[in-house]
Structure 1
Amino acid sequence: MGFSFCGGIVLFFAVFAAISAIAKLSTGTGLDMNSLYRNPAAVITLFLFILFFALVLLDVLVLTLPSSVANKQGGGSGFAGSVGMGFFAGILSTPCSGAIIGAVLVWAQTQPLTVSSAALVLMGVGMAAPYAMLISTPKLLDYVPKPGTWMEIFKKTGGFLLLIIAAKFMLAGLTKDHLINVLLYGVIFCFCVWMWGTWVIFSTPKAKKWTVRSVALIIAVAGGFWLLPTPKQSRVDWQKYDPAVVQNALQKEKPVLLKFTADWCSNCKIVDKTVYQDAATVALLAQKGFVAIKADTTQQGFGATVDYKAVFKEPGNVPNTILLNPDKQTITKIRGLFTPDELKQIITEHF
């Protein structure tokens, strides 16, 4: 009977092996992990998947099976009943093992069918092995640690490890601006999961429960539409700040547009979206032959930061767009926020 229970656990993981095999055979090709990490949508999905199970391990959200399912785990008798109990033990383990199973399922798509199926089944064997050892040698129960605080500490430590995995491995392939937005959404996602799992309890009236969870879902979805899409590529062909590039452009009598910006500057991002994504503005810059240079002042030691104060005599506030006219030898500065029309008017009047 005990070994039948172990067989039920292995059966649970064998089902995942079958799912993996069906997915692979239906597409005819395996998944390339390198391509996966180059796909922002796939990376973000894995990040949120692992983040979700980290929150589960940290007790931000408690996963429970529907009573109609949970009540069946004790049903049946004999070997069939033991197998069923083992299978449901595997289901009940998913709050702790879900992130690992998901990662292995993805990895399995990159391997030959025999290797991937064996790996998934061996996960079940690994989970069933302690039960099998205790069944075959009951005296080992004397050495099994008693339930206590250590179990809670161990579980929550696993949650923090999943957070490290999510941040370190899942987001390595995103661009800088996209990474910042996804991490910000991660915070919103955690808040929504916490709101879903802790703002209501079992005895909360149904109307209030639906209201709270609907609001959490709306915030999560709205935040996703706002922050998760890949940022648009700039319409302007920006060159990295270099005094030699600036000097060379002026010697060739080409006008220069210097965009002094910083990664932490919110107004800079507004200017990028409203001004330098404007088609008419971009066309005018190209028509006038501007050399567009992005002067990054994110950190104190950057060359653009040093020259911003020493050469252009500015205290350091950004955004600031500086236009250099080699013909008239004039410098025009546009500090703070401005509109596409304001920039176009200045260019039309002075260049």
Structure 2
Amino acid sequence: MTFWVALAGAFVGGLILNLMPCVFPVLSLKLLSLMQHQRDEVQAHLPHASLQAHGGAFAAGVVVCFVLLAALLIGLRAAGEQLGWGFQLQTPWVIAALTLLFFLIGLNLLGAFEFGLGGAIASSGAAQRLQGDRLSGSFATGLLAVVVAAPCTAPFMGAALGYAVTQPAPIALAVFAMLGAGMATPYLALTCMPSLLARLPRPGVWMLRFKQVMAFPMFATCVWLLWVLAQQIGIDAMALVLGGLVLAALAGWAFGLAQTGAKRWRWVALVAAPLALYGVFAMTLPGAAPARGGLAPSAGAAGWQPWNRSAEEALLAAGKPVFIDFTAAWCVTCQANKRLVLNREAVRSAFDSRGVTLLRADWTNRDDEITRELARFERNGVPLYV
């Protein structure tokens, strides 16, 4: 693969990443934000450039986060660490933090309390929402979109990233930046081309309902993240995280009451918030969690054996064909392929008829041996099928 082909693949992969399910909750928030900004521009007679500024801030957040991830990967690899795409989701406290964040966003969208994110409604006027520090909300939304995009590997993206991590730092950074540019392009186009923006539905009461409906993809994302967390730290520790989320709901509700003038509820929020943080992070911080992977069923599922390099070599030396599924519980694409293809009776029968041994390399938690094996195939993430 050449540098220019990798750049093109990264850009196309970034475009397709917008269609992947793992980023839908955040991108739906961005779409809602664009429609709110469009409404406020009309009401406050603000220039269209203000909307373009928010599109630029979102795009900058996306590109900056991709570049920061690339720099972190490059730096840690230079220090001898073995990491790949999605490495942050191999850390339980990151999963717990994302769960808490999406849960709070869902409560905010339902109106439990007001807290600005991107274009969320705040108590300030329209001009304040579209100017100044509100741009930081669009930038932060771009950062968050990339963080939650890690479970997905879009077509063209895997090969480009695999190429990037084997190249010098400037080339790797350029490929990651192009991936961000591809992901941000549709939103830049919406904000820079009034004719496209005009195709969005007219603002109205329905936007409040749409905002409330968007809370439920957030809660669905929480369910998925909690399932991933259970694979990493076990169901008992995950139950403590659930308790923390209940306390977070109490804190958010009390904070919302305080915002409406019932100041005495502020103390409930102040007490519940630290307890919520304890519940969410007590069993997910390094050294606090029990033995990892107690629930992970993927490697030991019917017909599948856990992968390791020595087992693979022994089978190949004996002349037995092998199929290896490199996967992770947090990889949405992996789970979809597993249910739609690998678990189909016709596929299993084809493997059985040919005497193929099925090996599963589970990358849910950090595993340097699997990371090295992915690198051997010039891949930087899952899924990979060999």
Tell me which structure has the larger Cα radius of gyration: 1
**Which TM-score band (shorter chain)?**
0.3 to 0.5
Q: What is the TM-score of this pair, normalised by structure 2?
A: 0.43
Larger RCO (CA within 8 A; separation ≥ 6): 2
